[in-house]
């Protein structure tokens, strides 16, 4: 089924319409519009810029490490440099041919928010390798890949590195604006006499108003932190503590198995730090059990809650990078591409309702654009922000009522077969450096295509602001 | 004398003090009113008691859960299943509630009692059975809605009696609980019009209807059209509001604009100052015409067609009082009052229809008055004109139903405006106290009711007179 659809897409991708109008000078094309349209169906398919395909060659990432631990001294740029450097080495990328870097990040360093260009500079890449940085909350890594794919498919580039990184350990402490405004005369050297300094001091009272705020991942519009939203989603969708712990357990179990089997060896690079070499993910707990998970206390609602540190993704430092080329260029350079993208889809919902439910809308959108059904994709990979959130999304996808009311469809999108779902674990076990997760998922799926006979995969990511992202990948042989 | 007591009652410190001292001062409940346009989830986190028959189970489940409400469903069976299904789509699982148990921890914010299945006097007991055990569990500002079938459509006198009985129950419930700012209203839904209770439910169950209580509305299938966006329902619509320079007209213009309508502010040329301010504030257009001029209907229709390509919503709000007892009334007072309040309304509507300026799916709302219905000392002319509106609305609604147009009237009770501020203080205070909510309404309360009637979702309501009176004693 999937193969058949694929060939259909290929054909429609090579639709000759644009070429016919482009080949002819505009005026002639207008005059001859009707005959051209009639001839269209008999014209042989031919290569044209619109049919360019971007392909994934491979990806590399740093180990994902719990925040405020081994990677404390590495900021998002340094982490990005580590992942990108490993990618360049692993795939022996011709440096002179790289067109640019697209990077995703959530907590961007205020001193240099354009991570992409800084990574190129630190890697001493040729100066023409420019870079831009994208942010779409936790979908930033996927967005970076998407932006690179789009640029290549539009013919604007041939080789791009896309990825993302985040260092929660290096989140800047932010001074309240009151303090910033009061201190401005001093900072910008405009204060002249003692009285100016006193004036500044007087504005800084009371002291509690000007202390730096604890960095929190809270929604700007609702003030809720993510965990509270997940807790509410658990209640709204009646997701039990047991189901959440089970999902978390499976995530750890599968990720640990992948590590043990060496499945991740080709996607993780060791990183040198002052205190030593870090060569493996630090959050995965192969030795955890349902009993251990059940003992943890709920964090966000201590009395009646179900969301614990065990069934949530942890604050993580890390980076992931993906090498993307035009298929033509890849073949010319002798690369063996692993994957391509059939579709991307984004949407959002009211953050005050169910903040992290939107993948249940974005994923069906992406599948529809790719001409696929949930039950005939080979792999399903969802970012696990919280077990409660993942289960809310999968429950919605399996619900007729959700399909009718929220998607305007007659029947449920489908049940997800656990055997095809997050087969090597997800963010709960592996960790979740916000900007890197999308690129990590793309890498793991691309490798899965290379290692198995899986044909297609659908990705789903929830993000702050009520955003949901979906993407459909297909194997390239 | 200023309204010292009223102001005092709105001051939270003063309220506390008066309560602590046990002073015998009447303090009307401060009504929470909607502060913005329609929301996706008007019942967010509100606990709503529901009793539903099979006929209404689906539509009630959808509206209440989509609106963010937590449903407490009486009994099991089809209703509970419907709520469970919708609960999955909107993340609002229902709770089944047993009437035999105690529910001391429970706080309810509203109730929707579907009594469309009453067949005889004994069946009215359902109202008692569902509400009596839980009456103490309702918070202040709760909303009660009873759904029934029209008595006129009953199979026989016994069924008609039971159906009509619902109305009396609702009116008394409104009086009984109005002191706490609660409202109770009745929806008579014709067979086949069940799907059309959505918008009325959102209106009566939300803060948009703070001053409407004790009112029955009839919902029919007479008029075509079903589109029902919940938020910004008036997007792309052109609305004409007469007498929009101030008061109820101004409040209505603001509310219509907030729901997305382009509002044409019509008032007399002499009021160009305030009218242009309103037009600017709502991002609308100005139309300065004296509606009693002979060529006014023609001019209005022409201008609407030329400048806006027609009109979708017409609010006949312009009106005057010329109060004198009949024996003292001069002829020109009679004439001007009846002509402005009724004659001009008829002429302008005729011109809009004749010139096809009012588009398909249009909405007409005329302003009647509670004193028009009930009669009032010194208002023979005014009451004649305002009761005339009721007749006009009923007849016209039948005529234009096939064009998808609805025609309704709003009958405001005591509303705090320029007109009522001029009343003698004791009369004024007395008038306020004569309502179930124990206070006067505000221009925006009337505007809210008008806005509701002109939304696409109110397609089931035509030929109705909706009173915005806080459950006034007179003219029931």
Measured distance CA(A214)–CA(B8) in Å, rounded: 43
- The helix/strand/coil state of B471 is coil
- The helix/strand/coil state of A267 is coil
Cis amide leading into B225 (omega within 30): no
User: B91 to chain A nearest CA, in Å?
Assistant: 5
Q: What's the order of all strands across the beta sheet hosting B47-51?
A: B95-97, B70-74, B47-51, B108-114, B138-148, B183-189, B216-219
User: A233 to chain B nearest CA, in Å?
Assistant: 8
Q: What is the DSSP string of B252-303?
A: HHHHHHHTTPEEEEEE-GGGHHHHHHHHHHTT-EEEE--TTSTTHHHHHHHH
User: B163 to chain A nearest CA, in Å?
Assistant: 33
CB contact under 8 A, B91 and A399: no
pLDDT at A43: 39
Q: How many CB atoms lie within 10 A of CB A37?
A: 12
Options B38, B128, B188, B382, the catalytic residue: B382
Domain with residues B47-219, CATH architecture: 3-Layer(aba) Sandwich (3.40)
pLDDT at A181: 78
Of B40, B41, B88, the CB nearest to A401: B88
Give chain A's mean pLDDT.
88
User: A294 to chain B nearest CA, in Å?
Assistant: 25
Residue A433 reports pLDDT greater than 70: yes
Q: What's the order of all strands across the beta sheet hosting B285-288?
A: B285-288, B262-267, B238-242, B311-316, B358-367, B406-412, B465-468
According to DSSP, residue A274 is labeled T
Cβ proximity of A238 and B93 under 8 Å: yes
CB contact under 8 A, A404 and B89: yes
Give the model confidence (pLDDT) of A71-96 as tens digits: 999 999 999 999 999 999 999 999 99
CATH 3.40.50.720, domain B238-468, yes or no: yes
CB contact under 8 A, A236 and B92: yes
Can you tell me the mean pLDDT for A445-463? 97
Residues paired with residue A61 on neighbouring β-strands, in sequence order: A268, A320
pLDDT at B422: 78
According to DSSP, residue B417 is labeled S
Measured distance CA(A112)–CA(B308) in Å, rounded: 51
Which positions of A are catalytic? 138, 432, 462
CB contact under 8 A, B40 and A350: yes
Cβ proximity of A340 and A52 under 8 Å: no
Dihedral of CA A353/A354/A359/A360: which sign?
negative
Of B62, B66, B93, the CB nearest to A238: B93
Q: Report how many helices (DSSP H) and strands (DSSP E) chain A contains, helices first.
A: 18, 12
Q: What residue of A is the nearest CA neighbor of B45?
A: A353
Residue A132 reports pLDDT greater than 50: yes
Q: Could you state, in order of their start, the residue ranges of all structural domains in chain B?
A: 1-26, 47-219, 238-468
CA-closest candidate to residue B25, choices B11, B46, B36: B11
Count of CB pairs separated by less than 8 Å, A with B: 38
Q: A402 contacts in B (CB within 8 Å)? A: 88-89
**Could you tell me the mean pLDDT of each successive run of 10 residues in chain B, 476 residues long?**
63 73 72 94 96 96 96 91 95 93 93 97 97 96 98 96 97 95 97 96 97 96 86 96 96 98 97 96 97 96 97 96 94 96 98 97 96 87 96 97 97 87 81 89 97 97 96 74
B54 shares contact with chain A (CB less than 8 Å): no
Look at A95-104, A127-136, A185-194, B354-363 and tell me which has the smallest mean pLDDT.
Answer: A185-194
Residues paired with residue B286 on neighbouring β-strands, in sequence order: B265
pLDDT at A28: 41
Cβ proximity of B274 and B243 under 8 Å: no
Q: What residue of B is the nearest CA neighbor of A394?
A: B88
What ipTM was predicted for this assembly?
Answer: 0.83
pLDDT at A202: 72
Look at A42-46, A72-76, A440-444, A461-465 and tell me which has the smallest mean pLDDT.
Answer: A42-46
CB contact under 8 A, A401 and B66: no
Residues paired with residue B314 on neighbouring β-strands, in sequence order: B240, B364
Cβ proximity of A160 and A439 under 8 Å: no
Of A350, A354, A402, the CB nearest to B88: A402
Q: What is the DSSP string of A408-438?
A: --SS---PPPGGGBSBTB-HHHH-B-TTTHH
pLDDT at B52: 97
Of A233, A238, A405, the CB nearest to B89: A405
CB contact under 8 A, B93 and A236: yes
Q: What residue of A is the nearest CA neighbor of B86?
A: A401
Cβ proximity of B466 and B449 under 8 Å: yes
Q: How confident is the model at residue A171 (pLDDT cuts 50, 70, 90)?
A: confident
- The helix/strand/coil state of A67 is coil
Of B44, B68, B89, the CB nearest to A401: B89
Q: Which of A230, A231, A236, A411 would best serve as a mutation to test chain B binding (most B beta carbons within 10 A)?
A: A236
A350 shares contact with chain B (CB less than 8 Å): yes
Q: How many CB atoms lie within 10 A of CB A286?
A: 13
Maximal C-alpha separation, chain A: 85
Q: What residue of B is the nearest CA neighbor of A404?
A: B89
CB contact under 8 A, B91 and A392: yes
Stated pTM of the model: 0.86
CA dihedral A310, A311, A312, A316 (to 10 degrees): 50
B435 shares contact with chain A (CB less than 8 Å): no
A162 shares contact with chain B (CB less than 8 Å): no
B90 shares contact with chain A (CB less than 8 Å): yes
The residue ranking higher by pLDDT, A290 or A184, is: A290
Q: What are phi and psi of A160, to 5 degrees?
A: -135, 150
User: A400 to chain B nearest CA, in Å?
Assistant: 8
Question: Which tokens is A214 given?
Answer: 């604890």
Q: What are phi and psi of B383, to 5 degrees?
A: -65, -40
CA-closest candidate to residue A318, choices A445, A446, A461, A431: A431
Q: What residue of A is the nearest CA neighbor of B63?
A: A405
User: A470 to chain B nearest CA, in Å?
Assistant: 20
Question: Which tokens is A82 given?
Answer: 């580590």
pLDDT at B3: 64
Q: Which of A232, A358, A388, A405 would best serve as a mutation to test chain B binding (most B beta carbons within 10 A)?
A: A405
pLDDT at A23: 38
pLDDT at A196: 73
Q: A356 contacts in B (CB within 8 Å)? A: none
Topology alike, domains B47-219 and B238-468: yes
B80 shares contact with chain A (CB less than 8 Å): no
Measured distance CA(B358)–CA(B403) in Å, rounded: 10
Q: Which of A353, A360, A394, A407 would best serve as a mutation to test chain B binding (most B beta carbons within 10 A)?
A: A353
Q: What are phi and psi of B406, to 5 degrees?
A: -105, 150
Give the model confidence (pLDDT) of A249-289 as tens digits: 999 999 999 999 999 999 999 999 999 999 999 999 999 99
CA-closest candidate to residue B360, choices B300, B314, B311, B394: B311
**Residues making up chain B, counted from first to last:** 476
Measured distance CA(B50)–CA(B70) in Å, rounded: 10
Domains along chain A with CATH numbers: 10-45 (no CATH), 52-171+313-472 (3.40.47.10), 177-209 (no CATH)
Q: What residue of B is the nearest CA neighbor of A360?
A: B89
CB contact under 8 A, B89 and A357: no
Of A236, A352, A400, the CB nearest to B91: A236
Measured distance CA(B215)–CA(B203) in Å, rounded: 13
- The residue whose two tokens read 């017409």 is B314
The residue ranking higher by pLDDT, A26 or A166, is: A166
B45 shares contact with chain A (CB less than 8 Å): no
B88 shares contact with chain A (CB less than 8 Å): yes
- The helix/strand/coil state of A366 is helix
Angle, vertex CA B161, rays to CA B160 and CA B165, nearest 5: 115
Q: What residue of A is the nearest CA neighbor of B81?
A: A401
Angle between helices A437-451 and A140-153 (to 10 degrees): 60
Measured distance CA(B104)–CA(B199) in Å, rounded: 32
Measured distance CA(A427)–CA(A385) in Å, rounded: 6
Q: What is the DSSP string of B63-125?
A: HHHHTT-EEEEESSSHHHHHHHHHHHHHT---EEE-SSS--TT--EEEEEEE-TT--SGGGGH
Residue A428 reports pLDDT greater than 90: yes
CB contact under 8 A, A353 and B91: yes
- Segment holding A166, helix H or strand E: strand A159-167
């Amino acid at each position: 089924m999937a193969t058949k659809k694929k060939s259909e897409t290929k054909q429609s991708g090579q639709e000759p319409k644009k070429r016919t109008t482009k080949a002819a000078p505009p005026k002639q094309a207008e005059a001859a519009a009707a005959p051209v349209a009639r001839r269209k169906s008999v014209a042989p398919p031919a290569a044209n810029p619109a049919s360019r395909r971007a392909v994934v060659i491979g990806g590399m990432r740093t180990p994902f490490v719990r925040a405020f631990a081994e990677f404390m001294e590495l900021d998002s740029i340094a982490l990005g440099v580590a992942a990108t450097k490993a990618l360049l080495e692993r795939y022996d990328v011709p440096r002179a041919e790289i067109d640019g870097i697209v990077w995703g990040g959530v907590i961007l360093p205020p001193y240099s928010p354009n991570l992409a260009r800084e990574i190129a500079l630190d890697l001493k890449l040729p100066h023409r390798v420019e870079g831009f940085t994208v942010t779409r909350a936790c979908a930033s890594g996927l967005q970076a890949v998407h932006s690179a794919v789009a640029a290549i498919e539009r013919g604007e580039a041939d080789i791009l590195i896309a990825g993302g990184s985040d260092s929660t350990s290096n989140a800047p402490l932010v001074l309240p604006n009151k303090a910033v405004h009061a201190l401005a005369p001093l900072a910008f050297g405009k204060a002249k006499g003692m009285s100016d300094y006193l004036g500044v001091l007087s504005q800084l009272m009371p002291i509690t108003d000007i202390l730096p705020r604890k960095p929190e991942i809270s929604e700007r519009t609702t003030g809720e932190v993510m965990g509270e939203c997940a807790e509410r989603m658990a209640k709204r969708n009646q997701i039990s503590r047991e189901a959440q712990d089970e999902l978390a357990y499976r995530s750890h179990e599968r990720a640990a198995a992948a590590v043990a089997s060496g499945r991740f060896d080709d996607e993780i690079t060791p990183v040198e730090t002052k205190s030593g070499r870090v060569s493996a993910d630090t959050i995965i707990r192969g030795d955890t059990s349902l009993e251990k998970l059940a003992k943890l206390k709920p964090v966000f609602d201590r009395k009646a809650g179900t969301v614990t540190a065990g069934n949530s993704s942890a604050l993580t430092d890390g980076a992931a990078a993906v090498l993307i080329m035009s298929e033509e260029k890849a073949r010319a350079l002798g690369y063996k591409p692993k994957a391509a993208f059939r579709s991307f889809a984004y949407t959002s919902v009211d953050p005050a309702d169910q903040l992290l439910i939107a993948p249940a809308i974005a994923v069906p959108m992406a599948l529809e654009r790719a001409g696929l059904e949930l039950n005939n994709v080979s792999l399903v990979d969802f970012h696990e922000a919280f077990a409660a959130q993942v289960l809310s999304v999968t429950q919605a996808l399996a619900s007729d009522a959700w399909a009718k009311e929220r998607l305007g469809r007659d029947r449920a999108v489908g049940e997800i077969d656990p055997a095809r779902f997050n087969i090597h674990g997800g963010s709960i076990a592996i960790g979740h450096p916000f900007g890197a997760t999308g690129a990590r998922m793309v890498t793991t799926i691309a490798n899965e295509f290379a290692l198995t006979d899986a044909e297609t995969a659908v990705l789903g990511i929830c993000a702050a602001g009520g955003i949901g992202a979906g993407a459909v990948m297909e194997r390239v042989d | 004398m200023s309204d010292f007591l009223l102001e005092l009652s709105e001051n939270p410190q003063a309220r506390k003090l008066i309560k602590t001292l046990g002073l015998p001062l009447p303090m009307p409940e401060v009504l929470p009113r909607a502060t913005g346009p329609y929301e996706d989830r008007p019942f967010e986190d509100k606990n709503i008691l529901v009793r539903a028959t099979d006929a209404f189970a689906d539509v009630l489940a959808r509206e209440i859960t989509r609106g963010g409400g937590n449903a407490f469903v009486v009994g099991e069976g089809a209703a509970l299943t419907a709520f469970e299904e919708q609960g999955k789509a909107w993340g609002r699982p229902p709770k089944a509630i047993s009437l035999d148990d105690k529910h001391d921890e429970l706080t309810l914010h509203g109730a929707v009692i579907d009594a469309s299945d009453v067949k005889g006097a004994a069946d009215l007991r359902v109202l008692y059975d569902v509400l009596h055990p839980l009456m103490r569990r309702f918070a202040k500002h709760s909303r009660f809605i009873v759904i029934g079938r029209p008595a006129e459509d009953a199979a026989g006198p016994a069924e008609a009696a039971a159906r009509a009985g619902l109305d009396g129950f609702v009116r008394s419930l409104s009086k009984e609980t109005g002191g706490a700012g609660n409202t109770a209203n009745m929806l008579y839904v014709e067979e086949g019009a069940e799907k059309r209770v959505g918008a009325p439910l959102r209106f009566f169950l939300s803060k948009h209807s703070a001053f409407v209580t004790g009112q029955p509305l009839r919902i029919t299938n007479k008029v075509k059209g079903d589109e029902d966006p919940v938020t910004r329902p008036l997007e792309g619509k052109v609305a004409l509001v007469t007498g929009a320079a101030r008061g109820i007209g101004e409040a209505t213009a603001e509310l219509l604009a907030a729901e997305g309508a382009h509002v044409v502010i019509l008032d007399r040329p002499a009021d160009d100052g305030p009218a242009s301010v309103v037009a600017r504030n709502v991002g609308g257009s100005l139309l300065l015409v004296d509606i009693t001029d002979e060529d006014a209907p023609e001019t209005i229709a022409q201008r609407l067609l030329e400048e806006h390509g027609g009109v979708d919503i017409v609010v006949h709000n312009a009106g005057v009082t010329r109060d004198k007892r009949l024996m003292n009334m001069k002829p020109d007072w009679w004439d001007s009052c009846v002509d402005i309040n009724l004659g001009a309304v008829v002429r302008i509507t005729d011109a809009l229809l004749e010139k096809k300026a009012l588009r398909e799916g249009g909405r007409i709302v005329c302003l009647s008055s509670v004193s028009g219905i009930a009669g009032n000392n010194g208002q023979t002319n005014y009451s004649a004109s305002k009761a005339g509106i009721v007749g006009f609305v009923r007849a016209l609604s039948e005529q234009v139903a096939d064009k998808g147009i609805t025609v309704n009237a709003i009958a405001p009770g005591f509303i705090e405006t320029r007109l009522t501020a001029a009343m003698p203080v004791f009369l004024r205070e007395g008038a306020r106290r004569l309502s179930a909510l124990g206070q006067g309404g505000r221009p925006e309360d009337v505007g809210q009711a008008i806005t509701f009637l002109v939304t696409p979702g109110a397609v089931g309501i035509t030929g109705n007179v909706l009173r915005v009176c806080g459950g006034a004693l007179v003219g029931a």
